[in-house]
Amino acid sequence: MRVISKRPLREFWSLHPEAKPMLEEWFHKASRAEAGSFPALRETFGSADYVDGYTLFDVGGNRYRIAAVIHYDKQRIYVREVMTHAEYDRNAWRKR
């Protein structure tokens, strides 16, 4: 799949440098993934969830979350939000 874009990841790890290796690992894994549906994606990302139109990825042992919109027909992942688990719990990402 093609990840669009890496910018939110870079912006997040500029604020949270400890997250950089984990986010880069997610980026490379997502870039190599091939999935035609959410169940197929779960074969690669077993902890992924689907909530309110977003696919949520747990990264770094559930320390971080990535909210993305996936177009399986185009094989594209649109990163919408990268957040800490505490930021995710506040649900602000749903209001954007």
- We find that the CATH architecture of domain 2-95 is 2-Layer Sandwich (3.30)
Which whole number is the average pLDDT over 57-71?
95
Q: Rounded CA gap, 40 and 63, in Å? A: 24
The per-residue DSSP string of 34-85 comes to --SSHHHHHHH-TT-EEETTEEEEEETTTTEEEEEEEETTTTEEEEEEEEEH
Residue 5 has pLDDT above 70, yes or no: yes
pLDDT, one tens digit per residue, over 30-45 is: 999 999 999 999 999 9
Q: What is the pLDDT of residue 95?
A: 63
Please provide residue 80's backbone torsions phi and psi, each rounded to the nearest 5 degrees.
Answer: -105, -30
Sequence spans of domains, the chain? 2-95
Are 15 and 6 within 8 A, CB to CB?
no
